[in-house]
Structure 1
Amino acid sequence: MTGTGAAYDAVASLYAELFSDVLTTLPLERALLAAFAELVLAHGAGPVADIGCGPGHVTAHMRALGPETFGIDVSGEMIALARQAHPGLRFAEGSMLELDLADGSLGGVLALFSTIHLPPRQLPLAFAQFHRVLSPGGHLLLGFLAGDDPLPREVDHKVAPAYEWAPGAIAELVRRNGFAEVGRLEREPHDGERFRSGLLLARRRA
């Protein structure tokens, strides 16, 4: 993930300028984030980690919905911008493949389009980390680039290499790593977007 971190370091300020208010244009994503927050609060088993938090806009949105929330990102520049924009929240630099968090310490994991840069062979390692740090019954909300090919396909992302996954394929991979699917959402690209978006909500099995 060092290459991905460096790539996002280089565009951090521009990324924050372009995307820090993007949720105002995404009603479906806001609805699923609200459902995720409700499930986390009902479970009452710990905070939410926003993994791949970027400049912290989703972290702040989730905290406003109720759950205690903190952010982690591999880009030090993104973390600096997040701390500047949201001084009341906690942010830390770190890799989703080696989370510095205790086993079972979280009620929720958000990973919105942050796992898209992982080569397919590494994605199960990230899911294993998410499973480890979630309490039994805790929830994962995963955002991914949705494709039609049965195998993951590399695409030309503007910042770093990324991969599309068929929704069924990524749901099966999540299931094989200790989660039960709760629901999923798929939508077509909005103006200015190049890829279909997928959101998968899952619960860590006991």
Structure 2
Amino acid sequence: MTGRYLRDTRDGYDATAAAYAGRFHDWLDRKPVELAVLRSFAGLVGPGGYIVDVGCGTGATTAILARHGTKATGIDLSPNMIGEARRLNPELDFRIGAMAHLDLGDETVDGLCAWYSVIHVPDGDLDAVFAEFHRVLRPGGYLLLAFQVGDRPRILDEAFGAKVSLVFHRRTPQQIIAAARPHGFTPYVETVRECDDDGLESTPQAFLIMRKPTVS
């Protein structure tokens, strides 16, 4: 594991994992748009398809994808987040790992979900991340990304009473598509919704599904 952002991201979520789980693990249950996106993604991958949920956090998205008939595995940089994911979803498989260095064989994954996880990757490291996503996805496989829309990052130095150093990179769908296209990904679905008035969001939210070509 290299790069300060990796260390800061891991340490920040390690410090807040238990509190985060208590506050946000069931948050998606009240988000019909997000649930529809995840259901659609699972449908595209197909019953029994192997999905890897990178940056899985407490495993909430992993569990939703599994409930829709896929074989879903969660991977996260934070050991404490993986501990919460295993506690809350004991029937599922969770592993510690970094998205730019996945312990997976070439072209072994049918679908890859990065649900609010590339938001912590600086612009200069996106290339390596998309190259790794392309490597592990089978031809014709699907990639789902969720992220906040904007042109300025949000920086947190405190969360749930703990000292952290977390950067949330906000981007447009066009910026993400431009970063992924050189690695062969083509956009399939693009959805942006406005922020909710629940006090937790301050920017629009984007959901982007891209596809790896069936022929290289």
- What is the TM-score with the length of structure 2 in the denominator? 0.88
Task: Using the TM superposition, give the Cα deviation of residue 75 of structure 1 relative to its aligned residue in structure 2, in angstroms.
Answer: 0.3
User: What residue identity is the alignment partner of 1:155?
Assistant: R
Q: Partner residue of 2:105? A: 102
The answer to whether residue 203 in structure 2 is matched with residue 200 in structure 1 is no
Aligned mate of 1:52, from 49, 52, 55: 55
Runs (5+) with no aligned partner, structure 1: none
The answer to whether residue 69 in structure 2 is matched with residue 66 in structure 1 is yes
What are the superposed Cα offsets for residues 98-156 of structure 1, whole Å, 9 maximum, x if unpaired? 00000100000000110101110001111111111000000000011112x4xxx3223
The answer to whether residue 168 in structure 2 is matched with residue 162 in structure 1 is yes
Aligned mate of 2:13, from 8, 19, 23: 8
Task: Using the TM superposition, give the Cα deviation of residue 188 of structure 1 relative to its aligned residue in structure 2, in angstroms.
Answer: 1.4
Q: Partner residue of 1:175? A: 181
Q: State the alpha-carbon separation in 2 of the partners of residues 40 and 187 from structure 1.
A: 23
Trace 1:14-163 onto structure 2 (pairs within 5 A). 14-41=19-46, 46-147=49-150, 149=151, 153-157=152-156, 160-163=166-169
Task: Using the TM superposition, give the Cα deviation of residue 194 of structure 1 relative to its aligned residue in structure 2, in angstroms.
Answer: 2.2
Runs (5+) with no aligned partner, structure 2: 1-5
Matched residue SS, 2:153: strand
What are the superposed Cα offsets for residues 32-55 of structure 1, whole Å, 9 maximum, x if unpaired? 11111011017x7x4100000001
State the identity as a percent. 41
Matched residue SS, 2:124: coil
Q: State the alpha-carbon separation in 1 of the partners of residues 123 and 78 from structure 2.
A: 21
In the TM superposition, structure 1's runs of 4+ consecutive aligned residues that sit over 3 Å from their partners are none
Matched residue SS, 1:2: helix
- What is the TM-score with the length of structure 1 in the denominator? 0.93
Task: State the aligned residue count.
Answer: 200
Task: Using the TM superposition, give the Cα deviation of residue 202 of structure 1 relative to its aligned residue in structure 2, in angstroms.
Answer: 0.5
Q: State the alpha-carbon separation in 2 of the partners of residues 9 and 33 from structure 1.
A: 26
What are the superposed Cα offsets for residues 56-112 of structure 1, whole Å, 9 maximum, x if unpaired? 111111100011001000000000111111111000000001000001000000001
